[in-house]
Amino acid sequence: MKLTIFGTGYVGLVTAACFADVGHEVFCVDIDATRIGTLQRGEVPIFEPGLKELVVRNAEAGRLVFSTDARAGVQFAELIFIAVGTPPNGDGSADLRHVLDVARTIGEHIDGYKIVVGKSTVPVGTADRVGATITETMAARGVAHVFDVCSNPEFLKEGSAVEDFTKPARIIVGTGSEIVRKKLHDCYAPYNRNHDKLMYMDVRSAELTKYAANAMLATKISFMNEMANIAERLGADIEEVRKGIGSDPRIGYQFIYPGCGYGGSCFPKDVRALASIAREAGFGADLMQAVERVNDAQKDVMFQKLSQAFDGNLEGRTIALWGLAFKPNTDDMREAPSRRLMEALWGAGASVRAFDPEAMPEARRLYGGRADLVLASSPQQAAAGADALAICTEWKQFRVADFAWLKANLINPVIVDGRNLYDPEQVRQHGLLYYAIGRGDSVNRAASAPARREVA
């Protein structure tokens, strides 16, 4: 099949490369000529396991083409995917400018029947607006071609996007049209084997399903972070509580890990956008607002613990930071807890020596040139001679730490662990003070621990 994809960002590129890999002919359009140039040279501007190989292999085979020619894109295929960004407006609502620009472009160049597939996460009702925009643009040209607009939201996770696309849990298609159902069925057939994962529903339900899925997951995390804060104050260990509740199949073990808050490009944006959509529809959406508030407060917890460890004075201290990305296996630092921590530390007069396996270029782009940030070349180089160690991302390589080495090389024996990576008892045996998330016992003992070694 021939497919056109507007937008070569995260979702667009993964979608395009995965569809090309099963033999579809895919034409990708982006208005960003630099990005298209980069892709034409076989370079992939984002870090995502397996993606570069897919892009290069399929581009070489001639099945994956990158272009800025929107007219050629519209006329290339009957199926046109919209996978452009929907950044947040100031009030949290989604900015639909790019989506509607693509709709206008389609209206300008449409030359026959088209199926327009919405992949971007968009407010409920956007498919209708896309349809209206195409119709208006065609009318201004004096043409009237038939088209359908459907919603096919994406559930990709950064770090496993290729895997999520090729082995989807579900493929949601919101449409009322039999032709669309059939076309999307054929398009996804190579990735829809063994049992049928296609779910058809009306357009608005499909649009809301995307928000509801992310909101549910974000709610689980904020719930656990709230429980962790309660556990900490009651002297209970949230890690025991997590296992205790997870064993109930109605609750389950997944996505109930407490931490220093969720980040990334989806959860924060989508929770706010859903609250904003609900408000516009005249509904308060109290739970969504609380999920957001709890997460926002959780991002301050690391700083509070460090501050507590140094009696409220971090002036002149150097804090080692392991993990900058908002989660492992990505270089993405959007809304990452590490950023809130670093900014609070700088505000308190401390400096940061950071290491991340993938996000160093991104950190340099965001904060390069700051005198109070050193980007270290290894976890050890970040920690050696620092006053304390903070951990914001659970990269595999941080899971096993040499505590004896840390005790010998940190000026103050303090570890603030935002991902609960270690066994508190084991850390303490090495004479280190361990502040984790929701592990009441470790915090209580830390508070009553003997005086720290001080800088000479």
Q: Is 214 near ligand UDX (CB under 6 A)?
A: yes
Q: Is 267 near ligand UDX (CB under 6 A)?
A: yes
Q: How far apart (Å, rounded) are the C-alpha atoms in residues 19 and 1?
A: 9
Q: How far apart (Å, rounded) are the C-alpha atoms in residues 233 and 56?
A: 53
Q: Is 259 near ligand UDX (CB under 6 A)?
A: yes
Looking at residues 108 to 167 of the shown chain, list those that interact with ligand UDX (rule: CB under 6 A).
Answer: 154-158
Q: Is 263 near ligand UDX (CB under 6 A)?
A: yes
Query: Which of residues 188, 191, 223, 255 is near ligand UDX by CB under 6 A?
Result: 255
- Asked whether residue 155 is marked as a ligand-binding residue, the answer is yes
Q: Is 47 near ligand UDX (CB under 6 A)?
A: no
Compare residues 191 and 255 and give the one whose CB is closer to ligand UDX. Answer: 255
Angle at the Cα of 113 (from 109 to 117), degrees rounded to 5? 85
Closest approach, Cβ 209 to ligand UDX, in A, equals 11
Annotated active-site residue in 28, 150, 266, 392: 266
Compare residues 200 and 267 and give the one whose CB is closer to ligand UDX. Answer: 267
Number of shown-chain residues binding ligand UDX (CB under 6 A): 19
Are 79 and 4 in contact, with CB atoms under 8 Å apart? yes
- Asked whether residue 153 is marked as a ligand-binding residue, the answer is no
- Asked whether residue 15 is marked as a ligand-binding residue, the answer is no
Q: Is 107 near ligand UDX (CB under 6 A)?
A: no
Q: Is 150 a catalytic residue?
A: no
Query: Which of residues 6, 27, 147, 262 is near ligand UDX by CB under 6 A?
Result: 262
Residue 322 buriedness (CB in 10 A; 0-12 / 13-18 / 19+)? buried
Mark the segment that binds ligand UDX (CB under 6 A) among 111-119, 213-221, 278-286, 448-456. Answer: 213-221
Closest approach, Cβ 192 to ligand UDX, in A, equals 18
Q: Is 231 near ligand UDX (CB under 6 A)?
A: no
Mark the segment that binds ligand UDX (CB under 6 A) among 140-148, 180-188, 257-265, 345-353. Answer: 257-265
- Asked whether residue 334 is marked as a ligand-binding residue, the answer is yes
Closest residue to ligand UDX, judged by C-beta, is 266
Query: Which of residues 76, 200, 322, 326 is near ligand UDX by CB under 6 A?
Result: 326
Paired residues of 7 in beta bridges: none
Angle at the Cα of 352 (from 351 to 356), degrees rounded to 5? 170
Compare residues 77 and 215 and give the one whose CB is closer to ligand UDX. Answer: 215
Q: Is 256 near ligand UDX (CB under 6 A)?
A: yes
Q: Is 274 near ligand UDX (CB under 6 A)?
A: no
Binding residues for substrate: 155-158, 210, 255-259, 263, 327
Binding residues for NAD(+): 30, 35, 86, 121, 158, 269, 334
Which residues are tagged catalytic?
Answer: 266
- Residue ranges that bind ligand UDX, judged by CB under 6 A: 154-158, 214, 217, 221, 255-257, 259, 262-264, 266-267, 326-327
